[in-house]
Amino acid sequence: MLTATYSIVTLKLEQENMRWNFSALQQTILSNIKNLNHVSSMEFESMLNRLSQFEQYCQQRKVEIFIVPALRKFTREADTLLDELDSLSQHCFSILCKLRVRLQQVMREGLLKMDEVYSSIELCCSTIYTRLCKREELVELAERVIPHEEWFGLAASFMSHDRVKAGQLPFSFEEEEE
């Protein structure tokens, strides 16, 4: 039971950190866009890169790597929510791709007028935020449907994942050869 609690708290903390990080990113991007009449292609590319990096980071989270496969294994109840999350991810990816194409056009023409892209950036941010909210639902569902005995393995995977992310090698039981 403690292992399940640890795992769920870990997921919720990760989710809270993601919300906080995204909120700061969204605020910075939308503030920069609103305060400028025109933005250079380099500034625009930087904003897109930051959104893309956040997207990539989302795909490397414990929820995506460990909880989604566990939910697929133990219940069909998550299928609709998982399909919705996939659709939101694809939608966000599509928006970012279209904005990158627009950036290439702008690089040939000069400065980009913000009214042309503000709504797309705002839509992308809104889509990311919606996904974050849906992932919270996913964690709640996981808490309810994943059997307690499975949480031990998930907790071990979480810790191993954290070590790898921290740049440490996982502990090995094998002796090193000299």
The Cα 4–Cα 8 span in angstroms is 6
Residue 46, domain CATH: 1.20.120
- Domain assignment of residue 58, yes or no: yes
Could you say which DSSP state residue 63 is in?
I
The Cα 170–Cα 68 span in angstroms is 23
33-78 residue pLDDT tens: 776 656 666 777 888 889 999 988 888 889 999 999 999 999 999 9
Is residue 15 within 8 Å of residue 135, measured between CB atoms?
Answer: yes
The Cα 139–Cα 11 span in angstroms is 7
160 has a pLDDT exceeding 90: no
* Confidence grade of residue 152 (pLDDT, cut at 50, 70, 90): confident
- Domain assignment of residue 126, yes or no: yes
Q: Which pLDDT does position 84 carry in this prediction?
A: 95
* Confidence grade of residue 85 (pLDDT, cut at 50, 70, 90): very high
Question: pTM for the complete prediction?
Answer: 0.80
Residue 4's alpha-carbon distances to 34, 43, 135, 153, in angstroms, are 44, 44, 18, 10
In the predicted model, what is the mean pLDDT of residues 15-31?
90
- Domain assignment of residue 167, yes or no: no
Q: Which pLDDT does position 118 carry in this prediction?
A: 78
Helix (H, G, I), strand (E, B) or coil at 122: helix
The total number of structural domains that make up the chain: 1
Q: Which H or E element spans position 37?
A: none
> Taking Cα atoms as reference points, which of 116, 91, 124 lies closest to residue 38?
116
- Domain range enclosing 129: 2-157
